[in-house]
Structure 1
Amino acid sequence: MLTDCPILLDDEHLLVIGKPEGLLSVPGKGPEKLDSLYWRLQQMWPGIRVVHRLDRDTSGLLVFARNLPTQQHLNRQFADRTVSKSYIALVYGHPAEMKGEVNLPIRYDPDHPPTHIVDFEHGKPSQTLWTVLERKPGHTRVLLEPVTGRSHQLRVHMQALGHPIVGDQLYATDFDLSTASRLCLHAETLEFTHPVSGERLRLTLPAPF
């Protein structure tokens, strides 16, 4: 049930685990969308609690709480932006600069679900830092550091930059998607303070692409 989900940390308070690409973080609407990482974990650790999520097609690290006080503590860390996350992505093309940031407000687009769009009037403030790691033929490997945590933020911001993420069926429709086997976006590092010990933890799960 968890053969593709490496566990990086497991104690009586929390669990840090790697979610594979193609698996929901939490159940969706309808019985056909029950299978998810959260549902699978519930079978093994009853009472486990959700703290944050990744898109179905994004792989990488997630932290789950084993009890309510831990969940509340971690939720505060996310709300206060003291949790650090970094992602690895492959994007189409080659950004002109070696690093930069995107500050564009985002909102859900009800006319084209499940996409989100940049909207300067109604969107929520959103900020992403990006750094070029390697330039390859036709695409670039980048480090993405979201300052805010909006839904689809990294995908929308890379599209707005003119370099959508390789394999993105929602936001890279102007590019050849036939050569990509998956969305090339992976939550590689997660850093937070342990709610009980107070230790600052940094977990890393290398990208599979």
Structure 2
Amino acid sequence: MATRRYLKFQIKADDKKIIRKFLVQHKFSSSQLHNLKNRGGMIFVNHRQRHFNYRMRPGDDLLVAMSNEKPSELIEPMPGQLKVIFEDQYFLVINKPPKIASLPAKARTSKTMANIVKYYLQQKGENSSIHLVTRLDRDTSGLMVFAKDSYAHSMLDQILHTDKFQKYYLAIVSGVFQKKSGLVDLPIGIDQAAFYLRTIDHESGKRSKTLFQTVETYQNASLVRLKLLTGRTHQIRVHMKAIGHPIIGDYMYTKQPEKMIDRQALHCAELQIVHPVTKQTLDLVAPMPNDMVKLRQELRG
């Protein structure tokens, strides 16, 4: 069933006054404007329907009834455990456990976070069209962001790789760093031997940058805090391996079985987001999961 979303604004003195210009000022994309005009969207100013060329005044109330969004039939709603860290009318931040994918793969019907979020939104009577803003590997835990409509998705996408949207990870890696902190600046490309893997590729790889800071050291391992400056597939896993500190438990990249943990010890622990609509700074935290806590305790001895 298609669902409609409503966005409310109050016009300020420094806002654009023509409705079309106001919407562009507030980051509506050209496709969203097209859909709003031609696919059933509606605009109301002070409860009266208006067109794009209407001139508003400071203090006016603008209500935008977005075009209907039809949820994808490829993502089936499925009940499941969902740890909500933050939610408002624009987006949802959840704490993903390990051992579950972010999105369904082709020809795969197993439960993913997208299926669970879709069920959760349907149960609340909200738009259940899935807009995944950030994803995590199946065996990586931590914070994930879902937008609640195409407008919020577009707004978040525009700040995703800026200082207004900062992602921090915790990883337990092999070896002790010689430097307490530093920058890994190595280009990442597709591994020609296996398309699902990534590797350092100085010829055709995309520039990739990761900041690291040592939090704690053990006899032959380290807990590090990592900040992504770019968003490449498997970026942290590839960068840590490239500098000689592969993530413990990351069998895909080390080919070494690990008795202390059965997945890569990687967790998206913190998001700092300047809310694209309210401009509020959100500092969202997900505690280290139990398997990484146990690994940390074992390494401490």
TM over 0.5: yes
Q: CA deviation at 1:48?
A: 3.4
Q: CA deviation at 1:190?
A: 0.6
Q: CA deviation at 1:110?
A: 4.0
**1:22 is the counterpart of 2:103:** no
2:209 counterpart letter in structure 1: Q
For 2:265 and 2:191, how far apart are their aligned partners in 1? Answer: 23
**1:194 is the counterpart of 2:278:** no
Residue 157 of structure 1: SS of its match in structure 2? Answer: helix
For 1:98 and 1:176, how far apart are their aligned partners in 2? Answer: 28
Aligned to 2:202: 120
Unaligned runs of 5+ in 2: 1-78, 122-127, 293-301
Aligned to 2:152: 70
Greater share of strand = 1
Unaligned runs of 5+ in 1: none
Aligned to 1:131: 213
1:51 counterpart letter in structure 2: V
Aligned to 1:9: 86
Aligned to 1:38: 114
Q: Is the 8 A contact 1:81 1:147 kept in 2?
A: no
Greater share of helix = 2
**1:203 is the counterpart of 2:203:** no
Moved more, 21-30 or 41-50: 41-50
Q: CA deviation at 1:96?
A: 1.3
Q: Which has the higher contact order (CA 8 A, sep 6+)?
A: 1
Residue 199 of structure 2: SS of its match in structure 1? Answer: strand
Aligned to 1:109: 191
**Aligned CA distance change for structure 1 residues 79 and 87 (closer, same or farther; 3 Å):** closer
Q: Is the 8 A contact 1:91 1:141 kept in 2?
A: yes
**1:146 is the counterpart of 2:222:** no
1:75 counterpart letter in structure 2: D
Residue 254 of structure 2: SS of its match in structure 1? Answer: coil
**Higher CA-based Rg:** 2
**If the length of structure 1 is used for normalisation, what is the TM-score?**
0.93
Q: CA deviation at 1:163?
A: 0.6
**1:171 is the counterpart of 2:253:** yes
**1:96 is the counterpart of 2:178:** yes
For 1:70 and 1:112, how far apart are their aligned partners in 2? Answer: 35
**If the length of structure 2 is used for normalisation, what is the TM-score?**
0.65
For 2:176 and 2:254, how far apart are their aligned partners in 1? Answer: 15
